[in-house]
Structures are given as structure tokens and as C-alpha cells.
Structure 1
Amino acid sequence: MRIDRMITEYWPLFGLTLHTPRLELRVPGLDDLALLAAAAAAGVHAPDRQPFAVPWTDGTPLERARSTLQWQWSMWGRWSPQDWSLHFVTLADGQVIGTQALDAKDFAGLREVGSGSWLGREHQGKGYGTEMRAAVLDLAFTGLGAEWATSEAFADNVASYGVSRRLGYTDDGTARHLVRGEAVVGRRLRLDRAGWAAARTVDVRIEGLEPCLPLFGL
């Protein structure tokens, strides 16, 4: 048996892939992670901004690359059906351009997911953020039977709010975070199944989900 087929038998998430009109989202192997780390090293946002509650992008290019690898590996190691965080690499025209995550705790009972993402700076402003979040929302609602999806971004993150609004999210309160020593307000958003169905405009094709369902607690 080939090694790639063997690892998918043991860990079927490596066979899970999402397709949209322009993008492919897949669980990364080591080659994909190397390219994702390079995208992080090249830059994710302007130095005078910090859109993440954990400021992992404040380091040097090498530190950002290593942080990306360590984070991805840690998500593999801590996975359980009761507490999971699924991280895809996003590819456009075969090039790794960023990452899109879907996560949940006690999903089998709560049927609620959260999401997070980033794109390399050169790939921003092209609508990829909307398309890749639409892909994981389709996985959540169509593939896994979710009832709710949540998101949060800092109040000045116009791009993230634009994605959320286009996909049907509504306001769900605020939260406060300490970033770079200063208090920052985050705005929470929530999407229910009806709102997702009403705003759904991106065609998504899901491959390889069925053998993964026990890993999601389903």
C-alpha cells in the first residue's frame, strides 16, 4: 500500500477536500505546510496593524513561518471528537495562498462552529476570503449538520466584516482583548442555518467526508 493511501486510511481528514469555482481547500501535508509557512513569512498584514488576538505575526519572517508550522502540528495532535479545529490550506491556481479553519467544541450536541482564516497580502482584495469561508460553511451546514456558525473580528477589520455580511451573519455582541498592551474591542457575529441558506451564492463540492464523520463526533 502506498504511504499516502495508508495515512488517509488512518487519518481520513487527509482525504477531505473542498472545491469552489476558484479555490481548493485541503488538509495540508508537509509540502503544503512548507508553502503556507512561506506565505506567512512573506507577510499577512501591514506592520502597523494587528488583526489577531494572539499577535503571532509580530515576529520576524522566520518566526512567523515556524509559528505557522507549530500551530498546524499542534492542531493535529490535540484533535478529539469533542474538541476539534480543522485547518485547511487554500489554493488558487495550484498556489497556496492562505489558510481557512473550522472549529467546534461538543459539536455533536451544540451543532455550532467557529471559523478563522488568513491570506497572504498579495492575495487579498480578490474575493478569496469570502469564497473560502463559504466553503467551510457549506461543510459545516451541509456536510456536518451545523445549526449555527460564529465569527469575531476587531472593530476596525473592515474586510472580515464584509465577508461576514455577504455570507449572512448578524451582530452578536462584543468582546474585549488585550493586544500589544492595549484594550481592543472585538465584534462577534452569528449565522443560523436559515441565514446561511438565504445568503448562499458560492457553489461548493465536498470530497472525502464520509470516513471523517466519526472524528467530528458524528
Structure 2
Amino acid sequence: MINEHWPLYDLRITTPRLELRLPTPDDLAALATLSAGPIHDPARQPFASEWTDAPPAERSRSTVQHHWRSLADWTPEKWTLQLVTVADGTVIGTQAIGGDDFAVLREVHTGSWLGRRYQGRGFGVEMRAAVLHLAFHGLGARAAVTGAVTDNPASLGVSRRLGYAPNGTVSRSIRGEPAVEQRFRLERAGWRSPIEPITLTGLEPGLALFGIQASNVAASDHPAPGV
């Protein structure tokens, strides 16, 4: 079984409406098909990477390759967990969480997208809350960072809804035009999930893949004075 070699295949994050997990081949095929369909108004480009400007078949292939690349390049020092978001048995999008030198910095970054027909129903908040629960309660993170271009009000709204604070801006070039990416930061002490309950299962056997142990997570709940 693949989970004997990659235990994160047993990881599940569940919320009242969603389950987040590493995709099976069928899940990944469903996500690739979803990526070929509409994700946003084609007159706008809300993503800094512009990946949705590619033709549908290319978007599908790049979605599969992006997932495979994240697994192939994974090290405890630099990792990205690419999860599918599932509602009522249907893959509706993807939610990623990553960390660089996480064992030292204890900081994560996130990214996500939803198929267009699943937007506007609160799923974006719920799936981000799920991985923030993983970060703060499962992995002992100290902070989470994210960002979105100012032409992506939905993503900006999710960050504000979940309590992130503005953390500066970055200039981007999108479709040959200047754009501004708003950065956000959320400290562990400020995390209060608006979604309850959120449950984690199957995490502990895979903690070493994140460069940490269970004792590290427990210690993060009781930091030394001044930390």
C-alpha cells in the first residue's frame, strides 16, 4: 500500500461540509478535469501565475504535473502539501499548504482555487480554515502567510474573514500590466476558527516528513517565556 511509504495518504482534514486529502489518481483526474473548466471570468486574471490563461488541455496537464512535482520535490526542509477539497464526494477544488525550513521557522504559506460553480458558497473560508487548523494545531506553526492580487476580492475576503493582518505589498506583472499583490500574515495567537468542528486524522505517522516530531508540536503549545 502506498501509505506504508508515504503516510500522508492517510491524512484527512474534515470540516462540517468538506474533506481535504491527498488525491488518489481518480481524485487527481477529477481535479484536472475541473481545471479545464471555468475558474474565473476570463476577462480578469486573479492569479499571479497566469496558469488559467493556458488552453484547457494544457491546464489539465499542468494541474497533474504540479501535484506530482510537489510530491517529487518534497523534503523536510521544503515541502508543499497539495490537497483536494471534496464536498459530498465531489472534487471541487484544491488547497495547498507549504513550509520552508519549517522545523526552524514554523511558518506556512497557502494557496487554493475552486471550480467556478462552487464559488460564493463559503467553501474558500472553510478549506483555508482546515489547513490553518492543520498548521496551528497539527504542526505547531507560529504563523501563516498568504497573498492575493487586488483583482482577486474573493481571496482577499477569505484572508480578512480568517483574521489575517495586512503585511505589505508586492508588485507583479500580470498579462503585461502592473499589478499589486496584497500580503497577509496570521500569528498563532490570533487564530480563531470560524468553522467548527475541524478534525485531523492520520497525521502523526507523517510528522517526520514535515521535519518535526509529536513532541515538537506539543512543546509549541507551551512556549518558553519570551517566545
**TM-score, normalised with respect to structure 1:** 0.95
> What is the aligned partner in structure 2 of residue 113 from structure 1?
108
Tell me, yes or no, if the aligned pair for 1:43 and 1:61 is still in contact at 8 Å: no
- Matching residue of 1:3: none
| 1:20 and 1:203 in contact (8 A); partners too | yes
What's the Cα RMSD here? 0.9
Pair 1:203 & 2:206 matched: no
The 3-state SS of whatever aligns with 2:124 is helix
CA deviation after TM superposition for structure 1 residue 66, in Å: 0.7
Q: List alignment gaps of at least 5 residues for structure 2.
A: 213-227
Q: Tell me the distance in 2 between the aligned counterparts of 1:202 and 1:50.
A: 32
| Identity %, equivalent residues | 57
Q: Which runs of 5+ in 1 are unaligned?
A: 1-5
- Of residues 16-25 and 43-52 in structure 1, the stretch that sits farther from structure 2 once superposed is 43-52
Aligned residues: 212
2:121 corresponds to which letter in structure 1? K
Deviation at 1:202, TM superposition (A): 3.1
CA positional deviation for 1:162: 1.1
**1:11 alignment partner, one of 6, 9, 24:** 6
1:55-94 equivalences in 2 (<5 Å): 55-94=50-89
Contact 1:134–1:202 (8 Å) recurs in 2: no
1:127 aligns with 122
- Correspondence 1:46 to 2:23: no
The corresponding residue for 2:26 is 31
1:195, distance to aligned residue in structure 2 (A)? 1.1
| TM-score, length-scaled by structure 2 | 0.91
Deviates more, 1:82-91 or 1:158-167: 158-167
- Cα drift, residue 51 of structure 1: 1.4
